[in-house]
Amino acid sequence: MRLLTRLFHLLLWLAAIMPVEAGNLHYEASLHDSKWETTSSPLLCTLSHTVNRFGRAEFYQQAGHQPRFKFFVDQAPIRKGTVTVTSRPPGWKHDQVPRPLGEYTYRVDETPFRFRREISLRLLAELEQGMAPVFSFKDWGDGRDNVTAVLSGVRYLEAQTRFRSCMGQLIPYDYNKVRNSPIFFATAKHSLSSRAKRKLDGVIAYLLRDPSVKKAYVEGHADELGTHAYNNELSEQRAIAVRNYILQHDVPAAKLLVRYFGKRKPATSNSTVKGRSLNRRVSVKLVRE
């Protein structure tokens, strides 16, 4: 009995000191479960795919930005590491071999894998060709296991068509590019130039697409040439000209607040020709809720 006890303790000790062989963890949607989903809006397009028991991959493009990719995971990593991305051919393409797509450092958060335009477009192209992007890395616990997460190409092409259609309809600017838009005027004029109208068209396009913008302040200004009364009236006329142009394009009147300041709030010094040209303006300021 004492001998058996010693043998038992010896086996426990050996198990503790002997190296554990690395395992393999593989995550991939089955043929039956694989699906790609899209969402579309005037300001954002997404194309997403769920990898069972691992997370959700998402391609996305916002108005005014390039396409990007991020991978939401069910369990965030506890330390930084590297992921190797390859493109795996389908089983029936016997003449093809996996294509290396690079090695990248991943983040310590719920979206550890994030890529900008170049690699995002490459992943889309690989999927379009029937390939399956594979993300390979060490497990986020003790690093002993090899982990692979695969984007299945099953049922991809139809969703990609919808995604591309949405991207083609995005406006080429975001909120930050239009939130404070100056519209400039010639000396002593309040009529809109062709250039001013083109700039306002961009502001209007955004106003019509972003319901979170609740107000648009239309603020008229003038340079210092002329009397206070003259510049007050001129700045008001400029603001009204901009407001009327916006209203012609179906923006609700309740969203627009017109104010005018004459020469009291210059954007820069009036001591130069250039400075005065920058002060002859209407500032259109968008405010979100």
80-131 tens-digit pLDDT: 999 999 999 987 777 788 999 999 999 999 999 999 999 999 999 999 999 9
Share of the chain above pLDDT 70, in %: 92
User: Which of 168, 195, 229 finishes a domain?
Assistant: 168
Count of domains in the chain?
2
At residue 221, does pLDDT exceed 80?
Answer: yes
- List the domain range (segments joined by +) for residue 115: 23-168
The whole-number average pLDDT for the span 124-148 is: 95
User: Which of 168, 184, 209 finishes a domain?
Assistant: 168
- Does 153 share its domain with 76? yes
Distance between CA atoms of 119 and 140, rounded to whole angstroms? 24
Q: Give the least confident one: 7-16, 79-88, 266-275.
A: 7-16
pLDDT in tens, 21-44: 458 999 999 999 999 999 999 999
For the domain that residue 228 is a member of, what is the CATH number?
A: 3.30.1330.60
- Does 245 share its domain with 133? no
pLDDT of residue 22: 54
Do the domain assignments include residue 2?
A: no
